[in-house]
Each structure stands twice: as C-alpha cells, then as structure tokens.
Structure 1
C-alpha cells in the first residue's frame, strides 16, 4: 500500500502512470547518456544522425516534425553535429531557402557505434522485463504516443528531392 498522501480520492502521485513514466524516462536517459557520452553526442543528436543515415537528406523542419521536438532544439542539435563533423548542410537543389542536412562518413561511423551501444542498453532493459514484456510495452507506449501526438506517420521530407 502506498504511503503517498492522496490529494484527490484514489490518486497516488508516486503510483501514477505519468510519474512512473517520467522516472523511467530519466533513468533510461541517464543510462543512455552514459553509454554514448564519449561519442560527443547526446541522445537527441544521435537520434537525428540515425534518421539522416536511414532517410537521407532532410531539413531541420522535417526532423522537427518527424520526432516532435521543437525546431530550436533540432537546430541546436544539428549545429553540434555539424561542429563535430557528423553532418554537412547545403541548400536544397530546387528550394534554395531550404537547408538540407546530410550525414557524413564520420557521422555514419558514429551512428554505427551509437546504434551498437543502444542495442546493448535495449538488451539490458529487455532483460529486466518478463517474457514478451518489451514487445507489449512498446505497443502500449506507441498507443499513448498516438493518442497524445495524434500521428504516427513516418518521417518524410516536406521538400523532396526529385531525380531528373
């Protein structure tokens, strides 16, 4: 039984889903940061590099829309990735005011190493859950994301590059 005082009948702050998700997010984020800090990136920066590696050139606004992070946060993260040589930027070939970011060879190496470390963290987390628990948890968390964000569309370029 929880010793947390209930501020409204039947509600326990420390037993609530938002609180437990927040605590789990903080713990996982600290663990992830520890696993990748020597790569010189944080989790957001690594995630953006992974998307650029998988999807090809994208603008900051494409990335922002795709992962539901503010444009300012994406711009800051891309600036760091540019500074450490993981990405390059150039004007869009058709829409010159749009800046496209592309992963570099150094960025691909970082993505490979970061992804391998993420896989180890995933294995550790999966190992703490019951059989099938990770798959079930992912399904349920995606339901929450869909309800709160209203979309589960794959990331795509608003200004696609057309082959001639």
Structure 2
C-alpha cells in the first residue's frame, strides 16, 4: 500500500479514527452493561484470565496482556476490595504475590461472561457473518503486527522448586 498525502486525507475517514470511534462506542456499551457488577472491562478481563489460567502475579498479567503494571495493580486491588480476588504469597518465591479468584469472583466472572455475550450480540448484530469474520481476522492481524503473535501467559516464577 502506498503512502497517502496527509494533507489530502480526510481525518474522519482514516482507519485509526474510525477504529477509535468504534472502540469508544463499544467501550461505553460494555461499561454500561457491567455497571451492575461494579467492575470495569479491564477488571473483568483480568478476572476471566485468572479463572482460565489460575493464580498469577500482577507482573505476569501485565506482561502477558501488554497492560501497564499500574493498571493491573489498580484493577487487582479493586477485585480484591470487592471480594473477587484473594492474594497469597508465592509458594517458592515468598516476595511474589499471586492473585486467584474467590468463590464470589467465580460467580462474578460467570455473570460477566453472560453480560459480555449479550453486549457482543448487540454490537455485532449490524454486521453479517462474513463481515464480522473478516473484521475479526483483520483486527487480529493489526494486533499481531503491533504486539506480536498472541502467546500464552506464563508465570515468571515456577510454583515449585526445580
């Protein structure tokens, strides 16, 4: 693709602007739907990953999902405050703190998944299946180009001595 002259480009028609507008619209819809749980999309996302991956440190989550350590720390503190997450010392490296979901957190994630499925249906209902599949594939390519291919989140510290 050839470079376009920035002086002749219509700002509102650029991919980055359209994506930004769509992301903001979807974010507002997601957050409004999640208000009943008292969590943000980031907080729910981290809770979902703790459910799927088990106990992890804030650093593991930060590294694995390309979030700032401060954002992860703030989100985990909130999850702990509302009773969704518990912290415990790492069994081998006692200075490392691991977070895991509580029973209340597991129930919250279950409800959060249902809410997100409903929002997903709402925001994607304007697209046909092939449009949606193409958009998802394209956005995955963009993400991989910037962040690299999606990998699995691995704890930095093993859970037992080797």
The interval holding the TM-score normalised by the smaller chain is over 0.9
What are structure 1's unaligned runs of at least 5 residues? 1-6
What are structure 2's unaligned runs of at least 5 residues? none
Which of 96, 100, 103 is residue 102 of structure 1 equivalent to? Answer: 100
Following the alignment from structure 1 to structure 2, what is the Cα–Cα distance between the partners of residues 160 and 134?
A: 39
Match of 1:77 in 2: 75
Match of 1:56 in 2: 54
Following the alignment from structure 1 to structure 2, what is the Cα–Cα distance between the partners of residues 132 and 160?
A: 43
Which of 38, 41, 48 is residue 39 of structure 2 equivalent to? Answer: 41
Counterpart check, 1:122 vs 2:124:
no
Which of 125, 136, 139 is residue 137 of structure 2 equivalent to? Answer: 139
Following the alignment from structure 2 to structure 1, what is the Cα–Cα distance between the partners of residues 135 and 154?
A: 26
Following the alignment from structure 1 to structure 2, what is the Cα–Cα distance between the partners of residues 32 and 163?
A: 42
Instruction: Report the TM-score when normalising by structure 2.
Output: 0.92
Would you identify which runs of 4 or more consecutive aligned residues in structure 1 move more than 3 Å? none
Quote the offset at 1:124 in angstroms: 1.4
Quote the offset at 1:157 in angstroms: 1.3
The answer as to whether partners of 2:92 and 2:161 remain within 8 angstroms in 1 is: no
Secondary structure of residue in 2 paired with 1:27: helix
Deviations 1:9-54 (A, max 9, x none): 4411100011011101100000000101110100000000000011
Following the alignment from structure 2 to structure 1, what is the Cα–Cα distance between the partners of residues 6 and 60?
A: 42
Aligned residues between the structures: 159
Instruction: Report the TM-score when normalising by structure 1.
Output: 0.91
Quote the offset at 1:126 in angstroms: 2.2
